[in-house]
Amino acid sequence: MKMYTVAVLGATGAVGQEMIKILEERNFPVGKLVPLASARSAGKTLRFKGEDVTIGLACDEAFEGVDIVLGAAENDIAKQFAPAIVKAGAVFVDNSSAFRLDPDVPLIVPEVNAQDVKNHKGIISNPNCSTIITVTAVNALNAIAPIKAMTASTYQAVSGAGAGGPVELMSEVEALSAGSTYEPKIFPYQIAYNLIPQIGGEQTDGYTSEEMKLQNEGRKIMHLPEMKVTCTCVRVPVVRSHSISVSLHFDVPVTVEQARQAIANAPGCKLVDDLSKKQYPMPLDTTDQDLVFVGRIRPDLTDDCGISLWCCGDQVRKGAATNCVQIAELLI
C-alpha cells in the first residue's frame, strides 16, 4: 500500500486534534504525519500511533514533500498558505470557509457529491458543519424528488465556537450555582440556561453569515442552484453535536414511508424514528461518532409536497474532521 505524507495545518486546535485522531482511527495510510501550528506551539509534541510527533512551525517551506494537507485553521491562515501548498504539489483539504464558494474549488460531502473531487485544482473545501449534517440527512430525499426549497433551524452546540465554548458554559453553570456571576467572553450573552439566536455577523436582509452558508453551500454541494433556503441559526447550551429542524419542499408529494426508507438506506445516516417509543435523534446519542441520526419524519402540514424531519450529528467529527479525512480518502 502506498503511504502518504499528511500535514495538519492547525494541529493543536480542537478540529486539528480530531483530524489526527480520525486519521489513526480510520487507518489512513500515513507514512509521515506533519503537524503544523503557530510559533506558540511549534516544538511541542503530540501522540500519533503510539509515538511522539514534533509540531512544526506553519510556514511556506513546511509543505515541501507533503502529499495532502488537512486544514484546521482560520480563513486568513488558509488563504496565507494555500499558494505554497499548491505550489508544493500537495492537495489542500480546507475546513475554513475561505474557498467554499469559489467556482474552481470543489465543496465536498462524500456521501453526496464525491464525484466532484476530480475537479480540484489543488484545493478542496470542507463545508460548514451544519451544512454537512443537513445535506447528509436530506440527500436521499433529493434523489426521490429534487428539493425545491428548504426551511431550517439549527440548534448549535457551544463547542462549535471552539474549545472555549464548553469552558464558558461550564464556568457559567458553576458560577450561577454558587450565586456568583461570570462575564461572557466567547458568546455575546450568558449561554447557560439561555439560547442566542445569532451565530456569525449580519450579512444580508437580517440573516447572519452562518445562516447564509446553508443556502449557498447546500446549492453547490447538491447541484441545486435554484433551491431556496431560509435558515435560523441558534446557539444552545449543549456541549457537543448540532441539531437541525428541516422542512423540505418538493414539486411532487413524497410520502413519509418513502422518506423513511430512503434515509434508512442512505450512506452516513441512521434512522432513529419512533415517536411512540420516544426514539429520536439527540445530541448526547450522536456525540463522538460519525453518523447523522435522522428522525421525527412527518408531513409538512403547510405544504402537500413537503416533509419535515429532525437530524443530529457530531459537528467536530462528521461536521468537520471526519468529513475532511473522508475527502482525503477519496483522493487516494
Residues 37-54 have pLDDT tens digits of: 999 999 999 999 999 999
Which residue of the set 129, 269, 311, 312 is catalytic?
Answer: 129
The backbone torsions φ and ψ at residue 239, rounded to the nearest 5 degrees and listed phi first, read: -70, -45
Percent of the chain exceeding pLDDT 90 equals 98
Identity of residue 58: A
Q: How many CA atoms lie within 13 A of 226 on its CB side?
A: 6
Which sign, positive or negative, has the C-alpha torsion 43, 84, 97, 71?
negative
Per-residue model confidence (pLDDT) at position 31: 97
Nearest to 229 by CA among 171, 158, 294, 149: 149
pTM for the full predicted model: 0.96
CA dist 117 to 105, 200, 207, 236, Å? 9, 28, 30, 34
Which residue of the set 120, 231, 242, 269 is catalytic?
Answer: 242
CA dist 258 to 135, 145, 263, 273, 307, Å? 17, 11, 9, 13, 10
Active site includes 129?
yes
Residues 200-232 have pLDDT tens digits of: 999 999 999 999 998 899 999 999 999 999 999
Domain segments of the chain as ranges: 4-127+320-331, 131-315
CA dist 56 to 9, 38, 98, Å? 10, 8, 23
Residues 144-202 have pLDDT tens digits of: 999 999 999 999 999 999 889 999 999 999 999 999 999 999 999 999 999 999 999 99
Residue 101 has pLDDT above 90, yes or no: yes
Contact 277, 293 (CB under 8 A): no
Active site includes 249?
no
Helical H runs in the chain?
14-25, 75-87, 110-113, 129-144, 164-177, 209-222, 256-264, 283-286, 322-331
Superfamily of domain 4-127+320-331: NAD(P)-binding Rossmann-like Domain (3.40.50.720)
List beta partners, residue 113: none
Residue 216: exposed, middle, or buried by beta-carbon count in 10 A (0-12, 13-18, 19+)? middle
CA dist 317 to 14, 25, 30, 241, 325, Å? 10, 12, 19, 9, 10
**Sequence-separated (6 or more) residues with CB below 8 Å from residue 258:** 144
CATH pick for 131-315 out of 3.40.50.11290, 3.40.50.300, 3.40.109.10, 3.30.360.10: 3.30.360.10
Cα angle for residues 21, 27, 30 (degrees, 5° grid): 85
Helical H runs in 55-117?
75-87, 110-113
CA 188 centroid distance within chain: 23
Take residue 126 and report the three cell numbers written for it: 470542507
